[in-house]
Copies of this chain bind each other. A is one copy, B any other.
């Protein structure tokens, strides 16, 4: 805590620091930038990077920069980030897209954020910020509100006390949001109107497997004017299909007594 924080880092930690230097804002890095971000001497970074490249975790571009390699992609796909969920849901998302032609989202809660697990969008859909793998605040998106409504009290409490404003329409008053969440429970769906990005509205419903809300399913449209009932209906059909498939297909797993 005093002055220089010498780095008693282990070899593995250094290697991981190199990997950690890559993030959505830094998909390509030169050796120097990489070393800087990983807080390593150039020569060390150089050697580590060489090993990672040899292994396939990183790739060297023609221009000399490094980027995450294909092997990481392979490994990433193994991560059970709801891989059952994704696999089961995929066909239902397709159908939902075909029925609505809206941007379709499948998301789960990751701590205090929404994590987008899958997304479909056609050429005619509203442009949206979300990307697969991206995280957004729980209180400003449709799927987020659904997940928040069904989150443990502790999480909900913490989130309610830190409502950031994203657009002029973002709900930032805890009381008002709480009432909205109650409504989500009563009516079975959540909606937003330009609370995350202007010109985009959304509706979302929970995906229930057994008795747990395991995900949220939502669509984004330019306006909710007249379509809401139809969208909600389509969403609920899809969500039920996913939930049912999950419940039937996957007993030997998350179960804990």
Residues on A lying within 8 angstroms of B by beta carbon are 10-13, 15-16, 19-20, 22-24, 27, 48, 51-52, 55, 57, 59, 62, 67-70, 72-81, 90-92, 94-95, 97-98, 101, 110, 115, 120-123, 125, 132-133, 256
* A13 with B51, Cβ < 8 A, contacts A68-B75, A68-B76, A70-B110 known: yes
Verify B12–A132 contact, CB threshold 8 A.
Answer: no
Closest chain B CB from A190 CB (angstroms): 24
Verify B79–A121 contact, CB threshold 8 A.
Answer: no
Copies in the complex: 2
Verify B133–A90 contact, CB threshold 8 A.
Answer: no
Neighbouring B residues of A51 by C-beta, 8 Å: 10, 12-13, 16
Question: Could you write out 19 A-B pairs with CB less than 8 Å apart?
Answer: A10-B51, A11-B11, A13-B51, A13-B55, A19-B75, A22-B75, A23-B78, A27-B80, A62-B256, A67-B78, A68-B78, A68-B79, A70-B110, A90-B120, A90-B121, A94-B120, A94-B122, A97-B98, A98-B122
Closest chain B CB from A23 CB (angstroms): 7
Verify A121–B94 contact, CB threshold 8 A.
Answer: yes
Neighbouring B residues of A20 by C-beta, 8 Å: 55
The docked-state distance in angstroms from the alpha carbon of A55 to that of B10 is 12
Neighbouring B residues of A13 by C-beta, 8 Å: 51, 55
The docked-state distance in angstroms from the alpha carbon of A123 to that of B87 is 11
Chain B residue with the shortest CB-CB distance to A92: B123
The one of B24, B48, B62, B98 that contacts A78, using a Cβ cutoff of 8 Å: B24
The one of B12, B68, B69, B122 that contacts A11, using a Cβ cutoff of 8 Å: B12
* A72 with B68, Cβ < 8 A, contacts A12-B15, A122-B95, A123-B91 known: no
Closest chain B CB from A44 CB (angstroms): 11
* A81 with B70, Cβ < 8 A, contacts A11-B12, A15-B12 known: yes
Neighbouring B residues of A59 by C-beta, 8 Å: 80
The docked-state distance in angstroms from the alpha carbon of A13 to that of B11 is 11
The docked-state distance in angstroms from the alpha carbon of A115 to that of B77 is 13
Neighbouring B residues of A55 by C-beta, 8 Å: 13, 16, 20
Closest chain B CB from A87 CB (angstroms): 8
The docked-state distance in angstroms from the alpha carbon of A101 to that of B95 is 9
The docked-state distance in angstroms from the alpha carbon of A74 to that of B186 is 35
The docked-state distance in angstroms from the alpha carbon of A11 to that of B16 is 12
Q: Which of A27, A55, A94, A123 has the most CB of B within 10 A?
A: A94
